[in-house]
Amino acid sequence: MSKAIRFHQTGGPEVLQFETVEVGDPGPGQVRLRHTGIAVNFIDIYFRSGRYPAALPSGLGSDAVGVVEAVGEGVSFLAVGDRVGYLLGPLGAYSERRVMPAEVLIKIPDGIDDETASTLIMKGLTAQYLFRQVFPLKAGDTILYHAAAGGVGLIACQWARALGVTMIGTVGSDEKAAIAKAHGCTHVINYRRENFVERVKEITEGRGVPVVYDSVGRDTLMGSLDCLQKRGTLVSNGTSSGPVVIDTMLLAMKGSLWVTRPAMVDYALPRPNMLKMADELFDLVLQGRIVSKPQQRFALADAAEAHRALEARETVGATVLIP
């Protein structure tokens, strides 16, 4: 028996329950993990609230690190004691232990501790596919990135600096501005007291940017489009303020703009691509070019409090649950 967060109906953080669950032995192609760190991501809130569907009752979370406790038949690339992380597979990461399909697990290299890894699997690979696949960046590019002091944002700041990219980031407070700047964001805009469209135009001398990475959604949509150059690209990689709805004629009127709503699974699979992405991320971490630690820690039993803090925009960087 083990403990896990479950929810039997959708709603606010109060629907999350800390329950006893049964964890069996792994079957063919599976392993059993003991979690050491569980990441909290905004997508978890979407499932809990019902914005994204889940069969109820349900576990929660898709991003964690842990140690292999048992290996099922046919799994030859993992052994008991291996440290692994994952970001794909069924919901249920908010748990002390669980059985997982081995094919979604990524070995964590020596030199990267579990605490660091718990902030990197989903967030670091998100930065990888946004910057290296969705809109491949090159040295000398200038970009606009919303929520630059968030969990993905602080990794994105460092990755942009490593690539030689000028990153304009938006944040919601002077404290977050200082943190984003310290992590490599070239220009930081506090959107609560500055018009980010005007500042982007000022920074780029009226040219705008070729790409905007927008995880905020509804509240920033029109401003993001106004920051783009002709034939520029809006990467809509989140909707924390609400869903994005676009009239395609607007894209033509604003300069033949492109919009994409990418999903991690379409870039991380098949497995060899996921491992290649992880190798690139881990190499930057081992070189010291990306540094990441949890900024907020909650006990697994206090997952609801972690959700409240994240939804209230009270967090900076990565938030993790400790089993």
Q: What is the 3-state secondary structure (H, E, C) of 65-118?
A: EEEEEEECCCCCCCCCCCEEEECCCCCCCCECEEEEEHHHCEECCCCCCHHHHC
Count of Cβ atoms closer than 10 Å to residue 21 Cβ = 16
Read off the DSSP letter of residue 247. -
Give me the pLDDT at residue 187, please: 98
Work out whether the CA dihedral 281, 282, 288, 291 comes out positive or negative.
Answer: positive
Give me the pLDDT at residue 242, please: 85
Give me the pLDDT at residue 8, please: 98
The whole-angstrom separation of Cα 63 and Cα 44 is 10
Distance set, CA 31 to CA 28, 80, 84, 233, 320 (Å): 9, 9, 11, 41, 23
pLDDT in tens, the chain (323 residues): 899 999 999 999 999 999 999 999 999 999 999 999 999 999 999 999 999 999 999 999 999 999 999 999 999 999 999 999 999 989 999 999 999 999 999 999 999 999 999 999 999 999 999 999 999 999 999 999 999 999 999 999 999 999 999 999 999 999 999 999 999 999 999 999 999 999 999 999 999 999 999 999 999 999 999 999 999 999 999 888 888 899 999 999 999 999 999 999 999 999 999 999 999 999 999 999 999 999 999 999 999 999 999 999 899 999 999 99
Contact assessment for residue 94 and residue 5, using Cβ atoms and an 8 Å cutoff: yes
The whole-angstrom separation of Cα 157 and Cα 135 is 16
Give me the pLDDT at residue 238, please: 87
Give me the pLDDT at residue 243, please: 86
Distance set, CA 86 to CA 108, 132, 266, 274 (Å): 10, 20, 15, 10
Six token digits for residue 271: 């497995």
Burial class from Cβ neighbours inside 10 Å (0-12, 13-18, 19+) for residue 155 reads: buried
The whole-angstrom separation of Cα 220 and Cα 199 is 14
Give me the pLDDT at residue 24, please: 94
Give me the pLDDT at residue 313, please: 87
Give me the pLDDT at residue 1, please: 84
